[in-house]
A and B are shown apart, each in its own frame.
Chain A
Amino acid sequence: MSEPILELRGINKSFGPVHVLHDIDLVVNPGEVTALVGDNGAGKSTLVKCIAGIHPTDSGEVLFNGQPVQIRGPRDAADLGIEVVYQDLALADNLDIVQNMFLGRERTKAGLLDETDMEQAARKTLASLSVRTVKSVRTQVSSLSGGQRQTVAIAKAVLWNSKVVLLDEPTAALGVAQTRQVLDLVRRLAEQGLGVVLISHNMNDVFEVADRIACLYLGRMAAVVSSKEVTHGQVVELITAGRSGDLGIARPEAATI
């Protein structure tokens, strides 16, 4: 088995008195889809934001390609090749699709924005995601539907030659066909050798695309299991009770936030 591309060791994170993440260990392998599941408020988004450099962690180590790294901000994460689709999408309403996709990493020529180049690249990426209903890539994001926004956010993440892609509930607002597209894309990214982390509440989706499933329970990593070796029921138990048979936390009732 190949060496992990991203590895978290003992990550802790508190918001003031609220201890949200407890000693999280997680390994993301290249060429694999790791599903991250857990109930509402389990800490999935927080974990993703810690990896992305949005939230500083209180303690713990992050290894990228086996090397310890310090991710101090979103720039650092992007420089390492970590791309994130946030649950709340993080798009600027007053900018158009192209401007959003290249935000913070604009292509320039002689110090000036190279609009035509960015527009062409954006269109290519969006076309590969089959965004049919958007008439123009120069449409302002404020006038897009929820699903279209989500697709733009995903396109923004796959536009770059990244090594790790984290998707926080990317299909939550999508229709049937669009969900299909995204799940296919998730598989395709993994086949291209990227490490993919997919957060989802939909067990069918999870079992369809994930190689491994990491279950968060009240901010603790209850278990990381191979999706071939567990059933839906076991994963649901891990999510809701933190424990299933001999999988999971020893005494989940002792776990507190």
Chain B
Amino acid sequence: MSSEEASMTKTTESTEQEAPQGAISDFGIDTTSQSTGEAIRDYWARVRGGELGSLPALLGLVVLLIVFSALSDTFFTLGNLANLLQQGASITIIAMGLVFVLLLGEIDLSAGTASGVTASVMALHLIHNGNLLGGMGDTVFYVFCGLLVLAIVLAVVMKIWAGAALSAVALVIAAVGIPANAWLEMLLAVCVGAAIGCITGFLVAKVGIPSFVVTLALFLVWGGVVLQLIGQGGTLGLRDDTIFNVANGNLNFVGSWALFVIAVGGYAAVVLTRHFSRLRRGLVAQPTTLVLTKIGALAVLAAIITYALSLNRAPSNLVVIEGVPYVVPLVLVLLVIGTFVLDRTSYGRHVYAVGGNKEAARRAGINVERIRMSVFVIASSAAAIGAIVYSSKVGSVDPNAGGGNTLLLSVGAAVIGGTSLFGGKGRLRDAVIGGAVLAIIQNGMGLLKQPAAVVFIVTGLVLLLAASVDALSRRRAATAAR
């Protein structure tokens, strides 16, 4: 016994002396550079262990593309594919914002109707040439300003400076009555969205009402507000070229290829810098050939898409429609910024931590309430951007704006893409992939002249399927561990 103990102490000492070398032998996987085969096996092992990520949705996407292309002549045409991008953009953008909320295991049921409010305010500002007081009527306008002030106060109390600043900008725009300008209106919409998020977030994070209840109540409230702002049966037309172009315009030829260069070049730069910095410091990295292959594949795919979209896709000879739709760079920019925030900043790390284990995050000194409030600000702001896109697409705002299925489809997009409703797991690109799946289903079924009933049922079943995959993969991960 005592000799055993002595030998044990000896091992301790020796490891300690050669700690730096010990580090290398102890974490084998971390230091031996992987071969391509190993990297693929590693990935496969993780998939089998239940870390599916967006794999099921990607497979679904491919299957749907093939099925609809086979069933419909018009589906796989340039005109329709570009149209598809424009149809799916708003849901995708709202879903990206919702990913932040879902990462905390919360839900925002009010994102849809809240987006409707921002769209209505935007339209009122445009139509009444900046005179919101006249557009809304006295009482409504003062309540509106009061709520903006409230949002500022709440954001300041919780030290959410961005939320406070955006709400303040909304207040200034509303109060000063600057004449209509498309860019100003869009800014106003986003700022009103942020203010709405401040109120929702405060009720959830500080007052402590479950997000389901808060946002269910606000879903009704904002729906009513939209009706109040627009009036029963009314429609606010958005007669402005800039706003119209957001969802309907295209980059010109040069712009399309510039986007290609920036997107692919930027991706390659980020991935390669990271890759070589890890190699330099002797940390585990994927094999260089695999990294280069990935970048190459992406470049080829992006080039094909850019080339295809820069061809004329007009159905008649009278007009020319060509170029990458504006919504593509818009979604890309939001995706890149959001992913960057989630993956590369402390804030993003804290969002994941709070979603994974709230108490652990609190004990690590993270201001949990602030994180919880902030995600609602992000979600509502993103919803406002989504609102700009869908209003632009139809060219008007009606009392049903953001109502109906907007919210459910957005949540569905995030979940279908692989975001977990249980919190802590999900990425922004999930929303994009999920958004694409839903857009294809809606578009494809429409082309096949399926009645609305069938479209709803199929969409619902796909969502159910995605949620089951999430639940099952969690079970799998739980049994794989330990």
Contact = CB atoms under 8 A, between A and B. Distances in A.
B143 interface: no
Contacts of A100: 360
Contact of A78 (B22, B277, B352, B365): B365
B36 interface: no
Interface string B5-39: 10011011001100110110011111000000000
B480 A143 contact: yes
Interface stretch (B91-99, B245-253, B343-351): B343-351
Nearest to B103: A94
A90 B278 CA distance: 29
Given A74-B365, A116-B283, A181-B12, A103 B26 contact: no
Contacts of B184: none
B355 interface: yes
B198 to A, nearest CB: 23
Contacts of A74: 362-365
B482 A145 contact: yes
B229 interface: no
Nearest to A120: B281
B60 interface: no
B416 to A, nearest CB: 20
B224 to A, nearest CB: 38
A119 B278 CA distance: 10
A137 interface: yes
Interface centre among B26, B363, B482 (most CB of A within 10 A): B363
Interface in A78-122: 78, 84, 86, 89-95, 99-100, 103-106, 108, 111-113, 116, 119-120
B156 to A, nearest CB: 20
A144 to B, nearest CB: 8
A73 interface: yes
Contact of A127 (B19, B365, B424): B19
B12 A124 contact: no
A1 interface: no
B389 to A, nearest CB: 29
B284 interface: yes
A143 B481 CA distance: 4
Contacts of B29: 135-136
A93 B480 contact: no
A124 B23 contact: yes
B22 A73 contact: no
A132 interface: yes
Interface string B321-360: 0000000000000000000000111100110110111011
B344 A112 contact: yes
A184 B424 contact: no
A177 interface: yes
A184 B12 contact: yes
A35 interface: no
B160 to A, nearest CB: 18
A130 to B, nearest CB: 5
Contact of B284 (A92, A128, A138, A143): A138
B357 A91 contact: yes
A167 B225 CA distance: 54
B12 A180 contact: yes
A124 to B, nearest CB: 6
A54 interface: yes
B284 A93 contact: no
A103 B364 contact: yes
B425 interface: yes
A75 interface: yes
Given A73-B365, A128-B16, A142-B481, A92 B27 contact: no
Nearest to A52: B363
A146 B481 CA distance: 10
Contact of A180 (B8, B16, B356, B481): B8
Contacts of B480: 143
A94 B355 contact: yes
B361 interface: yes
A73 B482 CA distance: 33
A95 B355 CA distance: 10
B462 interface: no
A134 interface: yes
Contacts of B343: 113
Given A93-B356, A120-B281, A99 B349 contact: yes
A132 B26 contact: yes
Considering the complex of A and B, which 7 residue pairs feature the smallest CB-CB distances, nearest first?
A: A104-B364, A94-B356, A92-B356, A127-B23, A94-B424, A75-B365, A90-B360
24 contacts: A74-B363, A74-B364, A75-B365, A91-B357, A92-B356, A92-B361, A95-B349, A95-B353, A99-B353, A104-B361, A104-B364, A105-B364, A108-B345, A113-B346, A116-B281, A126-B26, A127-B19, A127-B22, A127-B23, A135-B29, A136-B27, A137-B30, A142-B477, A184-B9
Given A136-B284, A184-B12, 4 more contacts: A92-B356, A103-B353, A104-B366, A113-B346
Interface of A: 52, 54, 73-75, 78, 84, 86, 89-95, 99-100, 103-106, 108, 111-113, 116, 119-120, 123-124, 126-128, 130-132, 134-138, 142-146, 177, 180-181, 184
